[in-house]
Amino acid sequence: MDHQANGHGNHGEVHLPDPSIWPLVVGAAALFLGAALIYWSRVDDQTFAGPLLGAAIVSTLIAVFGWAYEDGQMRKKAAEGHHGGAKPTRYTQVVTFALAEGKLEQARKSGIIHDLESSDNQLRDLDGFQDLRIIVSPAATGPSQVLVETTWSDREGLATYEETRQTMLDIIARYTDEVVPGTVQVFDMEVIRDTKDVTFRFGTGAAFTIIAGLMLGGFMIGAGLNLFASESTGTGGGGEAPAPPANPFRVVATDNRFDKKEITAGPNAEITITLVNNGRAKHNIHFLDKKGGTTLAPGAEGEIIDGGTTTTVTFTTPGVGEYYFLCDLHPDQMNGTFRVVEGGPVGTGEPPAASPEASPAASPMAGN
C-alpha cells in the first residue's frame, strides 16, 4: 500500500455547483399553484384557494431571487478561480484500490462500496470535513477500479480524522475478499485550484424549515386576501343596500357535491327546487321519504341534466318531519337532509317583491 503526499494539478475549466434547494422550492410553488387552480375551478368553497395562491406566489418570488443570487455567487467564484484569485487552501485525501473480478455488485449492495457510502454520515460532524466522493470504473473483465476522495477545509481537520476516526483504510481493510491485494494507494494532496463551492450546505432540516416557512407565509397572505375580499363585499358606506338573502331552494351541483347539505321548507305546500349543474358530469336531485326509501311525492324526482344546464323540481311537501335528498348518479357523495318545519319557506324560495309606495303625485287627492 502506497501513501503519498502530492499537490493537485490544474482541474481544468470544470465548474461543479453544489446541490441547490431552489428547484425544490419551485416545485413546491407549482404544487401550491396547481392546488389553488383546482379549488378555483372545481370547488365552490374558496376558503383555501387564496392561501394556496399566496403560498405559490411567495415561494416563486423567493425561489427566483434566491436562485439568481446563488447562481451569481457561483459564477463569481468560478471567475475568481479562472483568474487565479486567492482562495483558502483546502486538502483532499484520495484512496484508490481495485475490486476483484465479479465483486462489483456485491460491493455496491452490501460490501465495501456500501460501507464507504454510509461513512459520509459519520464524517459530517467532523471539523473541516466538506465532501466525500466515490468513483467506480467498472470493467467487463478483470478488476474494477475504485477512487474514494474526501475533501477538508484545512490540514488539521484531515490530520484529526486520520488519528481519531475510522478512516477509509480501516473500512477497506475489512474486505480482503473483495479488494485485490497490493492495489490500495493513498494520496494526501493540497488543492491548488477548485471552483466547487462547498462553504454553504443545505441540510434536510434546513430545507424542510424553508419550505414550512414559505407555506406558512403564503397561507397568511392568502388568508389576509380572503379576509379583505370578504370585508369588501359586505355592506359598505355610501348607502349601499345589503345583498338579498340567498334562495333556500336553489341548489348548485358540482362534481361531485351539492352546495347544500340541508334544505328546509314549510309543510303541505307546493315548492319549486332549482338545480344548477355547474359540474361536467350529469346530475339530478331526488327527494325521498328516507335514505334508501321511495320518492317523497309526485314530481319530487328531478330529471338528470348535463353540466352547464338548469332544471326545476316542483312537488307538494308532506307534513312536518325529516326526509332525504340525493343525486341518483352519485348517491354516496351527493346527499343531504330535507326538513319540513312549521313556518318554513314555500313557493320558489324567492323573497316577495316589495310593493311600490304610493307617492303624493300619484294620489287622486293631489292638487285638491
Say how far apart CA 323 and CA 273 lie, in whole Å. Answer: 15
What band does 204 get if pLDDT is binned at 50, 70 and 90? low
pLDDT at site 358:
43
Q: Is 263 in contact with 300 (CB distance < 8 Å)?
A: no
Residue 136 host element (H or E): strand 129-137
- Compare 334 and 161 and report the one with higher pLDDT: 334
What band does 196 get if pLDDT is binned at 50, 70 and 90? low
Query: What are the grid coordinates assigned to 170, written together?
Result: 480501516
DSSP 24-45: HHHHHHHHHHHHHHHHHHH-S-
Q: Is 351 in contact with 245 (CB distance < 8 Å)?
A: yes
What band does 299 get if pLDDT is binned at 50, 70 and 90? very high
- The four Cα atoms 253, 257, 259, 261 give a dihedral, to 10 degrees, of 130
Distances (CA, A) of 284 to 154, 280, 331: 75, 13, 10
Secondary structure letter of residue 360 according to DSSP? G
pLDDT at site 243:
56
Say how far apart CA 214 and CA 52 lie, in whole Å. Answer: 11
Tell me the sheet residues that pair with 268.
none
- With 50 as the cut, is the pLDDT of residue 135 above it? yes
pLDDT at site 131:
86
Q: Helices 49-82 & 204-232, crossing angle to 10 degrees?
A: 140
Nearest CA among 98, 91, 97 for reference residue 168: 97
pLDDT at site 165:
63
Mean pLDDT of the chain: 78
Secondary structure letter of residue 103 according to DSSP? -
Query: What are the grid coordinates assigned to 101, written together?
Result: 473480478
Say how far apart CA 196 and CA 1 lie, in whole Å. Answer: 30
pLDDT digits (tens, 9 = 90+) for 79-111: 665 555 555 678 888 999 999 998 999 989 999
- With 70 as the cut, is the pLDDT of residue 217 above it? no
Most confident option among 32-46, 166-180, 293-307: 293-307
With pLDDT > 90 as the criterion, what percentage of the chain qualifies? 37
Say how far apart CA 313 and CA 109 lie, in whole Å. Answer: 68
pTM across the whole model: 0.36
Average pLDDT of span 47-58: 72
Q: Is 273 in contact with 326 (CB distance < 8 Å)?
A: no
Residue 91 CB partners (closer than 8 Å, separation 6+):
151, 152, 153, 154, 155, 157, 158, 188, 189, 190, 191
Say how far apart CA 153 and CA 200 lie, in whole Å. Answer: 12
Say how far apart CA 299 and CA 304 lie, in whole Å. Answer: 13
